[in-house]
Each structure stands twice: as structure tokens, then as C-alpha cells.
Amino acid sequence: MRFRPITSVVVVAGMMAIASLGIIPDASAHPTTTTNPASFSHLQAKLEAQLAVRQTQLATLTTDVSSSTTLTTADAAALSASLSVETTNIGNLITKVPSDTTITELRTDQHAMFQDNRVFVVMSPQVRLTIAADTLWAKAGAILSNGPTITADLAARVADKGYARAEARFAFSTAKATVVQSSMTGVSAKVLAQTPAGWPANEHIFVKSGVQIVRARGDLVLSRVDLKLVERWIAEHAA
């Protein structure tokens, strides 16, 4: 099972967004200055490129959500709704910007692109973190749901050599899976509650959630390793 580096996704997304800002100058600061047509065309083309990148990113995120098999129904619906809104917003701007004729119009559209649709610093981590949290919850749940079967298999081999160690490993595996589910409780709800308007004040929510997910992944690995050892021992001591 491969995992994406969640904390890196959050940090890199933020860096990409900052690096690509290319803020369009405020025309009102120089009201007597005539905008150079070549300069205007350059700024217009740059904004169109920024919008295209966001449209592509939104399409990727939409595919990630629709193809996920571990997202809860509620989380998938929430993400799909947000992605639909931002995809429509960016699409409308892509249609509008080529017809802009003033710096003021370009600046207004760029402001809408950033302030209303934080594709990289809000929407992207929302999708990545929610999918990761739900996946961890589901995988830990699968381990716990198999508990009764493993317990019965162990009980049938109490007299076998190595039983005590196998039982201890199973208890450890179960404890770690329980920790994973406990640590992921509420993560997706907290992440999904963030809005574009809340950035950058809400950036720490994404970073903290990413750290929780990384730790939970480590616990899940430990749980699965010990469970595999227990299953191997059971198989070796089959009647």
C-alpha cells in the first residue's frame, strides 16, 4: 500500500500558489498612466495560464474523489460539491478574462481566482487529507472487524508453542488499529470545515491534520506487521 506524503502535499501546494501569484498591479495607484498594450496582453495571458493550471488541478482532484473507494458517502458528497463550485467559478473566469479590456478588470478577476477559490492551498489539501483520513479509518476498521476470527483461531491453539507471543502480538495489533481510528476521528470534518476566505489563518489546520495522518500511518503499519505475524503463526499451527 503506497501513501502520498501528506505534509509535503500541504507545504508544496502552498509554495506553488505563492510562487505563481504574479499579482497584477493596481491601476488606481497610477491613475494618469496609460497601460502599455503589450504589458496588458502579457498580464492577461499570465492570468489565463494561472486559471488553466487551476482548472487542471480541479479536474485531477475531482478524479481523485470519484475514484476513491474509502471516502465516506458524506465526505465524498461534500468534496464533490466544493469541487463543482470551484470548477464552475474557474470556468467562468476562463471565459471572462479574454474579454477583459482594463487592468482593473484583470485585477478583479485575479482577486476572485485567489480569494474565492483557493484551489491549491485549501481545496487541494482538503481532498488529499480527507481521502487519507478516511482510508486510514477504513483500513484500521478492517483489522478490527477481523478480530473475532483471529481470537477464535488463537483460542483453538492455546496449547501450541508460541501461543503467548502470538496472543501478545494480536493484542498489540488491535491496540494500534484502535489508536488509528481514534486519531482519525473528526479529522475530515475539521478539514472540510475550512473555507477559501479563512486562508491563511486556517493553514495550521491542514498542517496539523497532515501530521496526525502521518503518525496514524505509522501506527497502521505497526498494526499490520504484527497481524501478519499472527496470521502466519496460525497458519503454521493449523490442525
**DSSP readout, the chain?**
-----HHHHHHHHHHHHHHT--PPP-GGGSTTPPPPHHHHHHHHHHHHHHHHHHHHHHHHHHHHHHH-SSS-HHHHHHHHHHHHHHHHHHHHHHHHGGG--SHHHHHHHHHHHHHTT-IIIIIHHHHHHHHHHHHHHHHHHHHHHTHHHHHHHHHTTTTSTTHHHHHHHHHHHHHHHHHHHHHHTTHHHHHHT--GGGTTTTHHHHHHHHHHHHHHHHHHHHHHHHHHHHHHHHHHT--
Q: Which three cell numbers stand for residue 197?
A: 476566505
What are the sequence ranges of the domains in the chain? 1-17+120-239, 36-117
> Residue 85: what pLDDT?
97
Q: What is the pLDDT along the chain (239 residues), one digit of tens a residue?
A: 444 555 554 544 444 444 444 666 654 444 434 567 779 999 999 999 999 999 999 999 999 999 999 999 999 999 999 999 999 999 999 999 999 999 999 999 999 999 999 999 999 999 999 999 999 999 999 999 999 999 999 999 999 999 999 999 999 999 999 999 999 999 999 999 999 999 999 999 999 999 999 999 999 999 999 999 999 999 999 86
Q: Is 225 helix (H, G, I), strand (E, B) or coil?
A: helix
Preceding omega of 200 cis (within 30 degrees of 0) = yes
Q: Are 106 and 43 in contact (CB under 8 A)?
A: yes
Q: Which three cell numbers stand for residue 208?
A: 496539523
Residue 55: count of CB within 10 angstroms of its CB: 17
H or E element: which one contains 33? none
Q: Using H for helix, E for strand and C for coil, what is the string for 185-212?
A: CCHHHHHHCCCHHHCCCCHHHHHHHHHH
What are the C-alpha distances in Å from 155 to residues 143, 167, 178, 230, 237?
18, 9, 21, 13, 12
> Residue 5: what pLDDT?
56
